[in-house]
């Protein structure tokens, strides 16, 4: 293991070492920012000090930060109907869909009926498909996780208003000013730093299995991607600019990014208090129509809920299918990034990250 943990986080070094050992394979990294500075930067297992990781749905929170910034600067109105600038959505069933309803997983366009291959997705045919997709429920009346279409819709909205993709906006206005190793659409020269994901057989709880058996979301759509998990080790995926899925980052970059939504980091602050509060205000809470569990979302960020309590009600961030997670908390004044290349047996943040949360809280609350 390598790195450091400054006061009051010294105990995290031993806890992190135990967590990495308990994974039984692979590696992990943990980073925490406080007072604008890195106070924890730990790397263990097979990870190198500059390892990067595909961070799956943490990409959604990165996209949410970009959307909040673009809205705050007047480049996009997240509350305007998509049809105002995207003619395909001017039909009756989608006339009320906004970028905000997509961010809050309330648009009803949670998946695609059309079955698309990896090559189709890489060619952008998901955008053609979403333009004719009928909502699975009336937009705005309930929420359900938009696993892939979240990115399709927001990329389309960004290109038509901001004039660039989410990944391009991220690179120019977030990654470069903050000096981050973080991309949605990773440059080829960075691919040798990306850790290969190691997979275990995914386990379903009985309740989750029953729910999926009667789900309104088709087995086709983009869900077949999860049936061949090793494709996520493909350079094609990390090159792809999918704002829902294909983000690549290191733990320290995620912590730095999220801290810049709380306060200034080396002269850079991404969001003021009002813009941050709009992003993390509770907008979707309760039974998720797609996942079949209680979830809690702001505008593109997850808020504390039973499966992922973070540090408490002031936390906002996102977990990832591959076990990584990142968040900020303005009550404690910290931002945390955790990455791992060991895919947990259940979707979302794995036992490794969940085991670290009580220790982080203990360090912050013990005199």
Mean pLDDT of the chain: 92
- Neighbour order of strands in the sheet with 294-297: 2-5, 37-45, 27-34, 334-340, 325-329, 315-319, 302-303, 294-297, 284-287
Whether 99 has a pLDDT exceeding 80, the answer reads yes
Whether 208 has a pLDDT exceeding 60, the answer reads no
Q: For the chain, how many residues are written?
A: 367
Distance CA 158, CA 165 (A): 6
**Domain range list for the chain:** 6-56+164-365
Please say whether the beta carbons of 16 and 42 come within 8 A. Answer: yes
Q: Tokens standing for 108? A: 């009803």
For position 209, what pLDDT does the model report? 61
Exposed e or buried b per residue across 91-126, where buried means at least 16 C-beta atoms within 10 angstroms of its C-beta: eeebebbbbbbbbbbbbbbbbbebebebeebbeebb
The residue written with tokens 């809690």 in the block is 296
For position 1, what pLDDT does the model report? 86
For position 206, what pLDDT does the model report? 65
pLDDT tier for residue 100 given thresholds of 50, 70 and 90:
very high
- Neighbour order of strands in the sheet with 247-249: 53-54, 247-249, 182-184
Distance CA 156, CA 147 (A): 16
Distance CA 218, CA 212 (A): 10
CA 351, distance to chain mean position in Å, is 18
For position 367, what pLDDT does the model report? 78
Strand (E) positions, the chain? 2-5, 27-34, 37-45, 53-54, 182-184, 247-249, 284-287, 294-297, 302-303, 315-319, 325-329, 334-340
Q: What are phi and psi of 45, to 5 degrees?
A: 70, -135
CB-based contacts of 167-173 (< 8 A; 24+ apart in sequence): 167/241, 167/243, 168/241, 169/66, 169/70, 170/62, 170/63, 170/66, 173/66, 173/69
For position 211, what pLDDT does the model report? 53
Say how many C-beta atoms besides its own lie within 10 A of residue 169's C-beta.
24
Q: Considering only residues 32 and 201, tell me which one the structure prediction assigns the higher pLDDT.
A: 32
Q: Domain 6-56+164-365, what fold?
A: Beta-lactamase (3.40.710)
The residue written with tokens 């294909």 in the block is 246
pLDDT 10s digits, 267-306: 999 999 999 999 999 999 999 998 888 999 999 999 999 9
Q: To 10 degrees, the CA torsion angle through 229, 235, 241, 242?
A: 0
pLDDT tier for residue 349 given thresholds of 50, 70 and 90:
confident
pLDDT 10s digits, 25-69: 999 999 999 999 999 999 999 999 999 999 999 999 999 999 999
For position 220, what pLDDT does the model report? 45
For position 225, what pLDDT does the model report? 56
Q: What are phi and psi of 183, to 5 degrees?
A: -145, 155
Q: Which sign does the torsion angle of CA 128, 134, 136, 141 carry?
A: positive
Q: Which sign does the torsion angle of CA 152, 220, 239, 178 carry?
A: positive
* Helix, coil or strand: residue 253: helix
pLDDT tier for residue 218 given thresholds of 50, 70 and 90:
low
Whether 200 has a pLDDT exceeding 70, the answer reads no
Q: In percent, how much of the chain has pLDDT > 70?
A: 91
For position 351, what pLDDT does the model report? 82
Q: What are phi and psi of 258, to 5 degrees?
A: -65, -35
């Amino acid at each position: 293991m390598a790195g450091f943990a400054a006061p009051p986080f010294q105990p995290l070094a031993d806890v992190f070492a135990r967590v990495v050992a308990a994974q039984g394979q692979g590696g992990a990294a943990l980073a925490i920012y406080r007072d604008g500075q890195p106070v924890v930067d730990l790397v263990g297992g097979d990870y190198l000090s500059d390892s990067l990781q595909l961070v799956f749905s943490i990409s959604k929170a990165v996209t949410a930060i970009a959307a909040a910034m673009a809205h705050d600067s007047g480049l996009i109105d997240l509350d305007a109907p998509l049809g105002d600038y995207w003619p395909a959505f001017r039909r009756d069933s989608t006339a009320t869909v906004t970028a905000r309803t997509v961010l809050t997983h309330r648009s009803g366009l949670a998946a695609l009926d059309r079955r698309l291959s990896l090559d189709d997705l890489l060619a952008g045919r998901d955008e053609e498909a979403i333009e004719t997709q009928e909502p699975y429920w009336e937009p705005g009346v309930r929420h359900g996780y938009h696993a892939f279409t979240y990115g399709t819709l927001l990329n389309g909205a960004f290109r038509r208003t901001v004039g660039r993709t989410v990944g391009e906006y991220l690179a120019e206005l977030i990654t470069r000013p903050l000096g981050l190793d973080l991309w949605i659409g990773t440059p080829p020269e960075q691919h040798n730093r990306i850790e290969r994901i190691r997979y275990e057989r995914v386990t379903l709880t009985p309740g989750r299995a029953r729910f999926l058996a009667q789900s309104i979301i088709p087995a086709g759509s983009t869900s077949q991607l999860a049936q061949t998990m090793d494709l996520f080790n493909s350079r094609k995926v990390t090159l792809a600019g999918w704002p829902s899925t294909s983000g690549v980052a290191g733990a320290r970059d995620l912590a730095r990014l999220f801290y810049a939504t709380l306060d200034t980091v080396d002269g850079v602050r991404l969001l003021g208090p009002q813009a941050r509060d709009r992003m993390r205000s509770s907008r979707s809470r309760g039974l998720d129509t797609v996942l079949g569990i209680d979830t809690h979302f702001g505008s593109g960020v997850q808020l504390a809920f039973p499966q992922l309590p973070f540090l408490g009600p002031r936390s906002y961030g996102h977990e990832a299918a591959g076990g990584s997670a990142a968040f900020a908390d303005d009550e404690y004044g910290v931002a945390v990034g955790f990455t791992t290349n060991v895919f947990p047996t259940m979707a979302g943040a794995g036992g490794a990250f969940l085991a670290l949360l009580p220790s982080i809280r203990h360090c912050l609350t013990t005199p």
